[in-house]
Amino acid sequence: MAADYYALLKIRRDATQDEVKRAYRRLARELHPDVNPDPETQERFKEITQAYEVLSDTDKRRMYDMGMDPFAASTAGAGAGGFGPGFNPLNDLLDQFFGAAGGGAASRGPRSRAQRGRNATIRIELELAECSFGATRELTVDTAVVCPTCSGEGTAPGTHPQTCDICGGRGEVSQVTRSFIGQVMMARVCPGCGGYGTVLVRPCPECDGDGRVRTRRTIKVRIPAGVEDGTHIQLAGEGEVGPGGGPPGDLFLEIVQRPHAIFERQGDDLHCTVTIPMVAAALGATLSVESLDGPADIDIRPGTQSGQVIPLYGQGVKHLNGNGRGDLVIHVTVETPSKLDAEQEKLLRDLAKLRGEEAPPGRFAPGSQGFFSRLRDAFNGRA
């Protein structure tokens, strides 16, 4: 292979696919027959088009870098001449017989430059109260929008895409090959226009022919009540505008619920722990606790034990897409004092005496046997 495709496109051998594309588009603007009708220039245009056809295809480029002829390899693998990526000769053969009326090869037609934009996802952090009751947020989104200069057409102001001279606007070129049934006319993507049927002789200077530019915009979104960590909210049509001014994709909001200092969320129920003194648990009391709606009073019944729960119905998180709310479940922990002064100790001993719960210092009360005493007796063989 005498031609150096990398030199023709003026790129390095390790150039990315995007760099290959940009290099070809830049040269095509200068050498296209519509701009330069000179025969020598047209020949150069054919050379860079062939170079682009090879280097833009991963398999052909690998063959070329290995010193193989990518078109010869394509012929051996397909049984016909060189074809573009994804070409299937069998499909074209079937089109020949069952496609368009009149016996000619079925035309696929040019493809549209306008394509749907990509979807985008944004993570948004919310407090527990915002997840429960809903919120309104203003989001700054870095996205692609329709180019204001060309309105998505991709051409410089006052110009429009022109019909490709190579394919005549069909987006494909035909090639006659020989097969076991004789001569067959097959089609492949036009190398001049890339299958669009038109060429951008003067691309838009702002978007470089893409039909869109990147910018930042602010949108106001409403977060419904009841969302939780991991909830996805779809905003249709708020994603990126597609190439060629195509329709935008969707924007997805991924909810991240921040941890709360007091409450732990389980579904739509909230759980928290309240520690009360031993005396309050024995005598009963009224306590003020926090809730999502503000302070709320709860009654501690006399004799409340550690581990008991007190439910406040309808004080939890609102149900998503439904009516009502979950519950606020309060877990009670009874705190036993670890240090007592003399007077407090005397009062407790008096209480123990009144309740018959006192024990002489250093040994168990008569008629009772401690754990270690029973353990010692078991080793000594006594019941």
- One pLDDT digit (tens) per residue for the chain, 383 residues: 447 888 888 898 888 888 888 888 888 777 766 666 677 777 888 888 888 888 888 888 888 877 777 765 444 444 433 334 444 444 444 444 433 333 334 446 688 888 899 899 999 999 999 999 999 999 999 889 999 999 999 999 999 999 999 888 888 888 777 655 566 677 788 988 989 999 999 999 999 999 999 999 899 999 999 999 999 999 998 999 999 888 999 999 999 999 999 999 999 999 999 999 998 899 999 999 999 999 999 999 999 999 999 999 999 999 998 889 999 999 999 998 888 888 988 888 888 888 887 765 554 444 445 444 444 554 555 44
256 HSE (CA, 13 A, CB side) = 6
Cα(16)–Cα(20) distance, rounded to whole angstroms?
Answer: 6
- Cβ atoms < 10 Å from Cβ of 275: 10
Q: Which fold has domain 1-78?
A: Helix Hairpins (1.10.287)
Q: In what order do the strands lie in the sheet with 309-312?
A: 264-266, 269-277, 328-335, 309-312
DSSP string, 213-269: EEEEEEEEEEEPTT--TT-EEEETT-SPPBGGGBPP--EEEEEEEPPPSS-EEETTE
Residue 118 is given by DSSP the state: P
Q: So where are the chain's domains?
A: 1-78, 116-156+210-259, 264-335, 342-379
Residue 125 CA to its chain's centroid (Å): 16
Strand-pair partners of 242: 246
Architecture of domain 116-156+210-259: Sandwich (2.60)
Cα(289)–Cα(287) distance, rounded to whole angstroms?
Answer: 6
* Among 319, 119, 123, CA closest to 230: 123
Q: What is the domain class of 264-335 according to CATH?
A: mainly beta
Cα(239)–Cα(251) distance, rounded to whole angstroms?
Answer: 5
- Cβ atoms < 10 Å from Cβ of 285: 16
Same topology between domain 1-78 and domain 116-156+210-259: no
CA distances from residue 350 to 25, 339, 347 in whole angstroms, order as listed: 98, 17, 5
* Among 91, 243, 117, CA closest to 172: 91
* Among 308, 350, 315, CA closest to 333: 308
Phi/psi region, residue 345 (left: phi>0; alpha: psi -120 to 50; beta: rest), is alpha
User: Length of the chain, please?
Assistant: 383
Question: Percentage helix, strand, coil, to 5, in the chain?
Answer: 25, 25, 45
Cα(63)–Cα(75) distance, rounded to whole angstroms?
Answer: 13
Token look-up 């390095």 returns 12
